[in-house]
Amino acid sequence: MFYGKEGCYSGGDRVVMTSFNGTTQPTGTVKLSENYWLLVGVSGVIAKTWEQAGFAMDEKKFLVTFDQNVKDVGLHCHNEIENSLWILASDIVSISVQRGR
């Protein structure tokens, strides 16, 4: 479980991406396949925390499985869970929590 800007997050929680790397739009020119800002406003489910993946990260991230198909938007997506991207904790907001906590 992780306590973020909007509360406590854990696997199974529904979230919405509010920014990517702290901004709502790219700060420069980016390739379409790397324009992850297209997912701002898109919801999904936390599939894993950085701790569950055994990662040592400078900033805490969650593997978010998005409701919108990431590849259909033209974005790169190479994670072990289809349609999932590692997103900074500061770039998501909880919209519902997993029951049973």
Residue ranges and CATH numbers for the domains of the chain are: 2-96 (2.30.30)
For residue 98, the model assigns a pLDDT of 59
- In contact, 99 and 18? CB cutoff 8 Å: no
Q: Residue 17 carries which side chain, given as an amino acid letter? A: M
Helix, strand, coil shares of the chain as percentages rounded to 5? Answer: 15, 35, 50
Residue 24 has pLDDT above 90, yes or no: yes
Burial of residue 29, with CB atoms counted within 10 A of its CB: 0-12 exposed, 13-18 middle, 19 or more buried: exposed
The DSSP letter of residue 95 is E
Band of residue 9 on the pLDDT scale cut at 50, 70, 90: confident
Closest CA to 91 of 24, 3, 7, 30: 24
Band of residue 12 on the pLDDT scale cut at 50, 70, 90: confident
- In whole angstroms, what is the distance from residue 23 CA to residue 26 CA? 7
Residue 5 has pLDDT above 60, yes or no: no
For residue 6, the model assigns a pLDDT of 47
- In contact, 2 and 60? CB cutoff 8 Å: yes
Average pLDDT, the chain: 86
- 3-state class (DSSP) for residue 34: helix
